[in-house]
Chains A and B, each alone.
Chain A
Amino acid sequence: MTLTDTGATTVRRLTTSKAIVEALAQEMERDPSVIYLGEDVGTYGGIFGSTTGLLERFGPQRVIDTPISETAFIGLGIGAAVEGMRPVVELMFADFMGVCLDQIYNHMAKIHFESGGNVRVPMVLTMAAGGGYSDGAQHSQCLWGSFAHLPGMKVVVPSTPADAKGLLTAAIRDDNPVVYVFHKGLMGLAWMAKNPRSLDEVPEGEYVVPLGKARVAREGRDVTVVTLSLSVHHSLDVAEKLAADGIDVEVVDLRSLVPLDAETILGSVAKTHRLVVVDEDYLSFGVSGEVVATVAEYDPSLLATPARRVAMPDVPVPYAHALEYALLPRHDRIERAVRAAMTS
């Protein structure tokens, strides 16, 4: 028998939001104890498209629209998890952590430890993060560093549609509470400025990306840029531009903050001897400082030039577009930091 050569192969691309929906649907098919609850996750389909179609497919027993009472429904999720279910609970914006933090860090994160390891909380807390679309100081923050600072929770932050699917699948199957933070600017929403990389190939069927493993998004010899989420794509854009000037940038996508993949960070810096950390979360007391400290504690002599941080300055995120873009860690600031790391 002769097989006809079909020429081009089929590439299946999804937006990050569709990749998230696919991971949820596949895990809900696989495991009846997986449920999803939060504000506007049912009829509306998630304000950032994270649950579109799930209510129609799995019904109101498993896709649950909650009142605007984050403390109540996160507590509900914790109880369900303690009793053996695998709830995925959506906090609409990371910024809203303030109204429900006691449930998150005193209960979800600590019950396992307080029970001497006898009680597990296999729960995922998802949330939207990030700015760049003039949504004001209380709807534009990342705050993943704050969750990572509080012990007891794993924290994952995908940057690609494939990772969004694979990390969410791993998070649901993990027996620990996992905070899963997706950047609004990566979801591929029609009404938001699009990042071309937010639409990419996603493996069909079961796809698991292990928690705690960083990804070298681009290999390079000269400078290591350690980054996460939307900033990965800005860093890759800068890397492509600087390649024309003979600067070979390695981009490390952390993917997980807890556990932090120190091995990949150190391996890359041991190769390039230069480090720039790019983080859309606030500069001080956060992810960027943690990455620099990880290198400094291991071997400060790895660095041929001082480490540099490009992050959100320690001020509330401005509403005005020009002001917000002046503060976000975007291409111009990343490029300046990489060039500075090369010359000093």
Chain B
Amino acid sequence: MTDVLFPPLSKQTPDSEGVLATWFVADGERVREDQLLAEVQVDKVAAEVPAPAAGVLHRLVAEEATVRQGSVIARID
């Protein structure tokens, strides 16, 4: 089991919050390592979240939700 984290985009304020802008993979789908899972945004900066491992994705955060950076947004089994 591998946790997928919201990437730390703001270095100055490590506890800043961002938005999970887009999920590219549906809940329960199988993913390859490095496959694009999501796009997130902190302020105006966007970043891609690639799969840290291969497996089945379990989404833990809804699209458009506000998330503290560094927190778990999905699990890969």
Real binding pair: yes
List A residues at the B interface (Cβ < 8 Å): 6-15, 18, 188, 190, 194, 199
Q: What is the distance, in angstroms, from A187's C-beta to the closest C-beta of chain B?
A: 11
Contact: A6 with B22, CB < 8 Å?
A: no
Find chain A residues with CB under 8 A from B39 CB. 190
B28 adjacent to chain A (CB < 8 Å): yes
The 8 lowest CB-CB distance pairs between A and B, nearest first, are A190-B21, A8-B30, A13-B24, A190-B41, A10-B30, A10-B32, A8-B29, A190-B46
Contact: B30 with A7, CB < 8 Å?
A: yes
Contact: A11 with B21, CB < 8 Å?
A: no
List B residues at the A interface (Cβ < 8 Å): 19, 21-22, 24-26, 28-32, 35-36, 39, 41, 46, 56
15 A-B residue pairings within 8 Å (CB atoms)? A6-B30, A7-B30, A7-B56, A8-B28, A8-B30, A9-B30, A10-B32, A11-B29, A13-B24, A14-B36, A15-B24, A18-B36, A190-B21, A190-B22, A199-B24
Q: Which residue of B lies closest to A7 (CB)?
A: B30
Contact: B19 with A190, CB < 8 Å?
A: yes
Q: What is the distance, in angstroms, from A19's C-beta to the closest C-beta of chain B?
A: 12
Contact: B35 with A188, CB < 8 Å?
A: no
A15 vs B29: C-alpha distance when bound (angstroms): 18
Q: What is the distance, in angstroms, from A16's C-beta to the closest C-beta of chain B?
A: 12
Contact: A13 with B25, CB < 8 Å?
A: yes
Find chain A residues with CB under 8 A from B24 CB. 13-15, 199
Find chain B residues with CB under 8 A from A14 CB. 24, 36
A199 vs B39: C-alpha distance when bound (angstroms): 12
Interface of A is mostly: loop
Find chain B residues with CB under 8 A from A13 CB. 24-25
Find chain A residues with CB under 8 A from B26 CB. 11
Contact: B22 with A15, CB < 8 Å?
A: yes
Contact: B22 with A10, CB < 8 Å?
A: no
Contact: A10 with B29, CB < 8 Å?
A: yes
Contact: A10 with B31, CB < 8 Å?
A: yes
Q: A15-B22, A190-B39 are in contact. List 13 more A-B contacts (CB 8 A).
A: A7-B56, A8-B28, A9-B30, A10-B29, A11-B25, A12-B35, A12-B36, A14-B24, A15-B24, A190-B21, A190-B22, A190-B41, A194-B22
Find chain B residues with CB under 8 A from A15 CB. 22, 24
Find chain B residues with CB under 8 A from A10 CB. 29-32, 35
A181 vs B21: C-alpha distance when bound (angstroms): 25
A13 vs B21: C-alpha distance when bound (angstroms): 15
Q: What is the distance, in angstroms, from A322's C-beta to the closest C-beta of chain B?
A: 23
Q: What is the distance, in angstroms, from B53's C-beta to the closest C-beta of chain A?
A: 13
A90 vs B25: C-alpha distance when bound (angstroms): 30
Q: A8 and B56 in contact (CB under 8 A), knowing A190-B19, A190-B39, A190-B46?
A: yes
Q: Which of A7, A10, A18, A194 has the most CB of B within 10 A?
A: A10
Q: What is the distance, in angstroms, from B9's C-beta to the closest C-beta of chain A?
A: 13
Find chain B residues with CB under 8 A from A6 CB. 30
A291 vs B24: C-alpha distance when bound (angstroms): 36
Find chain B residues with CB under 8 A from A7 CB. 30, 56
A6 vs B26: C-alpha distance when bound (angstroms): 17
Q: Which residue of B lies closest to A52 (CB)?
A: B46
Q: What is the distance, in angstroms, from B2's C-beta to the closest C-beta of chain A?
A: 16
